[in-house]
Amino acid sequence: MKQTLILASSSEFRRQLLQKLLIPFNSISPKIDETPLADEKPHETALRLAQEKAKKIGGEYPHALVIGCDQVATLDGEQLGKPLNHQNATKQLQLMNGREVKFHSALCLFNAATGNMQAEVVPYLVRFRKLTDEQIESYLNKEQPYQCAGSAKSEGLGVALIERMIGEDPNALIGLPLIKLVSMLQNEGVNVI
């Protein structure tokens, strides 16, 4: 029996990334509590949440291969959550102004049929441009990235906020490290090409 591939995410950007691999999949939102645990390091939060998302959907679809992912942004080691509103997004972008932010993009591939789980965090560094308050306000009014860690969508207009990016996989910044995913899928017998 061929396994169903499920992306445990409601993100349209992650869906668009996964479509690049030209393999059939379904998307299902896992709806879990994403609150960091006390004393949890940012990469640990991202990894735990990616695994929880994959396991939750895997529990509902016991014959599926489930992709879980999560991303935590940090500035000076402190987590930057999703801003959720304009005021918080303004504060985040002012804090990140001209500075380097590290994105911890966690990826998990869970084989619900066998219980095999592969999981890894793929880091990505972003240096933000020096921006005026007017530029920050203009960006937020145009894109409204209130559900994005770090208040910026690099796959959209947010790229104008960025001075430099450093990492192994540019897809990791959007939240789904495809290079690592291809290897994980191959380990489960799914060949993309």
Q: Could you tell me if residue 164 is inside a domain?
A: yes
Alpha-carbon span 79 to 102, nearest angstrom: 10
**pTM (2 decimals)?**
0.90
Q: Could you tell me if residue 33 is inside a domain?
A: yes
Q: Could you tell me if residue 73 is inside a domain?
A: yes
> In total, how many domains does the chain have?
1
Of 77-81, 97-101, 105-109, the one with minimum mean pLDDT is: 77-81
**In terms of Cα–Cα distance, which of 1, 116, 7, 6 is closest to 64?**
6
Question: Taking a C-beta distance cutoff of 8 angstroms, is the pair 155, 174 a contact?
Answer: yes
Residue 187 has pLDDT above 50, yes or no: yes
Q: Could you tell me if residue 20 is inside a domain?
A: yes
For the chain, give the mean pLDDT: 94
Q: Could you tell me if residue 135 is inside a domain?
A: yes
Full domain range(s) for residue 142: 5-187
Q: Could you tell me if residue 192 is inside a domain?
A: no
Rg, the chain, Cα only: 17
Q: Could you tell me if residue 193 is inside a domain?
A: no
Confidence (pLDDT) at 147: 85
* 76 catalytically annotated: no
Looking at residue 111, which CATH number applies to its domain? 3.90.950.10
Q: Could you tell me if residue 122 is inside a domain?
A: yes
Residues 31-83 have pLDDT tens digits of: 999 888 988 999 999 999 999 999 999 999 999 999 999 999 999 988 888 89
Which listed residue (33, 70, 76, 169) is catalytic?
70
Helix axes 178-187, 12-19, angle to 10 degrees: 60
Confidence (pLDDT) at 1: 46
Residue 146 has pLDDT above 60, yes or no: yes
Residue 8 has pLDDT above 80, yes or no: yes
